[in-house]
Amino acid sequence: MVTVRLATLQDTAAICAVHCSDVPQWTRLSADGQLIVTDYEALSLYERWQHGGAWLSLETCAVHLNRLLAGSGFPLVACVDGRVVAEAEVYESFEPPPFGHNLEIGVINTHAEHQRRGYGKALVAYMLEMARMMRCERLCVSDAAAQGFYEKLGFRHTLSGYGVRFPTESGRVLYQAVELKQRDPNQVKGWYMPFGRYRGSRQEWDKLFPQDWAAGIPELLNRVAIHLQMTLSSGQRLIAFLSEPEQEGALVGEMHLACWSERPPTPLMVAALSDWAYRQGIPSLLTYVWETDAHLLPSAATPTDYAQTFYEYSLQ
């Protein structure tokens, strides 16, 4: 019989094993740039990270799990006879419509040796009960790869989104921009997130400060990152995070954009962001936008080949 519970730090090794089971083979780049197959033990922490994130080594998984347990999210495990066979993580966000007060699934993964036995379904059932107890409006997920799984559980596809890039340009717009130093996620509680919302607002906020989650890995800590707080002449406030793109095919000098806005986003806000980036010598911005916010983009914006679908289980 499967049981679901909140994970603890003692589950770190088991959670790491769940995610490692998905990796068909371990590879690394040789000195001459060739991809070669190697043993897991021969990989650095960063090389393991490149295979799928923080879960792929004990050290980084422990740091990630500790952050979740400290309040950023909720890690869950499904167990059979006391053994962890699947893991999931959910984040609570307070956003304007169409997302509202939501519990969003950040990850759900079953050990390769225990798939198709209903453990993912058990985790979702537990999350639905959590969402009801927390008085959330919906349990949701942004995942284009598991549509059938969520549809069978009663989720509906309500939104689609895609990656996009647009060139920066000088604009006639007045604003004040300063470095963001406040890390409290509550400062964007209830704010819009028109750009870079791959997952829920709360989960995306956790990406802003790699010194909190990068486990001392130089390749992650040394990435260029800009934290910006901006106020337009209209009084509209926004927070932007510009970082080195992780996506393949990024252009030279390009930066990835994630953005929160206190008020409904406007083209003027986009013009201010574009102008600021242009003045810093950033030639273009790469981001992600839901179809409902696509009208904000400048005419020169072009879509990338990245796309996502948004599924929700309404609790209203």
Q: Assign residue 180 the CATH number of its domain.
A: 3.40.630.30
Residue 124's pLDDT is: 98
> Among the listed ranges 142-146, 200-204, 245-249, which one has the minimum average pLDDT value?
142-146
Checking if the pLDDT of 13 tops 90, the result is yes
Q: Are residues 193 and 126 in the same domain?
A: no
- Is 27 within the bounds of a domain? yes
Q: Are residues 270 and 184 in the same domain?
A: yes
Residue 144's pLDDT is: 63
- Is 279 within the bounds of a domain? yes
Q: Are residues 166 and 298 in the same domain?
A: yes
- Is 152 within the bounds of a domain? no
Which of 142, 174, 205 is the endpoint of a domain? 142
Domain that includes residue 25, residue range: 2-142
pLDDT band (50, 70, 90) for residue 216:
confident
pTM above 0.85, yes or no: yes
- Is 111 within the bounds of a domain? yes
Which of 108, 142, 176 is the endpoint of a domain? 142
Q: Are residues 248 and 172 in the same domain?
A: yes
Q: Are residues 103 and 193 in the same domain?
A: no
Nearest to 5 by CA among 90, 81, 78, 87: 78
Q: Are residues 111 and 166 in the same domain?
A: no
- Is 239 within the bounds of a domain? yes
Checking if the pLDDT of 287 tops 70, the result is yes
Q: Are residues 18 and 101 in the same domain?
A: yes
Which of 113, 142, 171 is the endpoint of a domain? 142
Checking if the pLDDT of 17 tops 70, the result is yes
Q: Are residues 131 and 213 in the same domain?
A: no
Nearest to 105 by CA among 316, 262, 307, 308: 308
Average pLDDT, the chain: 95
Checking if the pLDDT of 209 tops 90, the result is no
Domain total of the chain: 2
- Is 172 within the bounds of a domain? yes
Mean pLDDT, residues 233-242? 96
Q: Are residues 117 and 219 in the same domain?
A: no
The amino acid that residue 300 corresponds to is A
Mean pLDDT, residues 55-62? 96
- Is 147 within the bounds of a domain? no
Mean pLDDT, residues 219-228? 92
Residue 213's pLDDT is: 87
Handedness of CA 164, 206, 23, 153 (dihedral sign): negative
